[in-house]
């Protein structure tokens, strides 16, 4: 007799037939009464069982996903933009969640940010103390200006010396562009249209974002004039005057219309360049 397609006879072929009632097992598990009793009908039934709609509804009522049983509230998906922005004014908003606030991000050691900026606004110069940041432009266009150190080698008195030089990097970015900001590199972002981008900060635990301009959270305002003289190419007093001029924080108007027309006429630089020129 050929085994039924849905039976377990082949799996037990090597077992002691006296200790295992295969027919009984097949009858209980698969509804078989034996080939002699059901003939061809039993060949068509197998392990497929037809359920009525009412039975299915009753089963699904009590069904639970095994994966959800162990899913805590801390591991559930979250909407970054459902939170209150950490910086917000009429020029822009920055939403962010850090490893300190989310255990999933703590395991990955990353922070996540989402930024909205209005056309003509400026995210003031700042740097991240530890995190390398990857920006992904979702909508809009922007000019990004980054300041970093470039290593140079030169021969002097038959000895090889390493020289550090400040290097300015500029980029125009648009939708789907990616821009990488190394840790400790000051950066400023000027939105040339309505702009939205998101950012991943890698090595983010205990990272600090330090602003170099603006009325609030400006680390330079806490530095004594004598130290400013040594730290920046411009005189310390000039740096202090620049800081005192700042009436906005985090997001500001990059170029008021009247000031823009006047500076275009005179060929002067905008506030982004003037800030970075003074500091670097």
Compute the radius of gyration of the chain from its Cα atoms: 34
Residue 28 lies in a domain: yes
Find tokens 């009325």 and name the residue. Answer: 215
Residue 74 lies in a domain: no
Residue 195 lies in a domain: yes
Rounded to two decimals, the pTM is 0.61
**Domain tally, the chain:** 2
Residue 3 lies in a domain: no
Q: Per-residue pLDDT tens for 53-72? A: 777 677 666 665 544 445 45
Residue 94 lies in a domain: yes
Q: What angle do CA 77, 79, 83 make, to 5 degrees?
A: 130
| 105 lies in the same domain as 207 | yes
Note the pLDDT of residue 73. Answer: 55
Q: 173: which strand partners?
A: 142
How confident is the prediction along the chain (280 residues), in pLDDT tens digits per residue?
Answer: 555 555 445 444 455 545 556 666 666 555 555 455 555 544 554 555 666 777 767 766 666 554 444 545 566 777 888 889 999 999 999 999 999 888 888 889 999 999 999 999 999 888 999 999 999 999 999 999 988 876 555 445 445 555 567 788 889 999 999 999 999 898 999 999 999 999 999 999 999 998 887 777 777 767 666 655 555 656 666 666 666 666 678 898 887 544 544 555 555 444 455 555 545 5
By residue range, what is the domain housing residue 46?
9-60
Taking the alpha carbons at both ends of the chain, their separation in whole angstroms is: 91
Nearest to 253 by CA among 125, 87, 120, 142: 120
Note the pLDDT of residue 218. Answer: 74
Residue 161 lies in a domain: yes
| 33 lies in the same domain as 126 | no
Q: What is the domain-level CATH number for residue 170?
A: 2.60.120.10
CA of 102: how far to CAs of 77, 129, 133, 178, 188, in Å? 11, 20, 18, 25, 27
């Amino acid at each position: 007799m050929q085994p039924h397609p849905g039976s377990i006879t082949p799996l037990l072929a090597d077992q002691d037939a006296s200790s295992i009632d295969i027919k009984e097992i097949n009858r209980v598990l698969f509804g078989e009464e034996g080939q002699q009793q059901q003939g061809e009908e039993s060949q068509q039934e197998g392990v497929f069982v037809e359920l009525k709609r009412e039975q299915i509804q009753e089963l699904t009522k009590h069904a639970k996903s095994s994966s959800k049983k162990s899913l805590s509230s801390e591991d559930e998906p979250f909407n970054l933009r459902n939170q209150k922005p950490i910086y917000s004014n009429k020029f822009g908003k920055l939403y962010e969640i850090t490893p300190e606030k989310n255990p999933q991000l703590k395991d990955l050691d990353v922070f996540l940010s989402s930024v909205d900026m209005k056309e003509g606004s400026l995210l003031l110069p700042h740097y991240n103390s530890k995190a390398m940041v990857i920006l992904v432009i979702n909508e809009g266009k922007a000019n990004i200006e980054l300041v970093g150190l470039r290593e140079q080698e030169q021969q002097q008195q038959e000895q090889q010396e390493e020289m550090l030089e400040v290097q300015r990097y500029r980029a125009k970015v648009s939708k789907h562009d990616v821009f990488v900001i190394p840790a400790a590199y000051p950066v400023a972002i000027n939105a040339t249209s309505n702009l939205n981008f998101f950012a991943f900060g890698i090595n983010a635990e205990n990272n600090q974002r330090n602003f170099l301009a603006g009325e609030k959270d400006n680390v330079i305002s806490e530095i004594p004039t004598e130290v400013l003289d040594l730290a920046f190419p411009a005189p310390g007093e000039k740096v202090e005057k620049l800081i005192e001029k700042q009436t906005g924080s985090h997001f500001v108007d990059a170029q008021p219309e009247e000031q823009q027309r006047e500076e275009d006429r005179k060929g002067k630089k905008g506030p982004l360049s003037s800030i970075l020129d003074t500091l670097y």
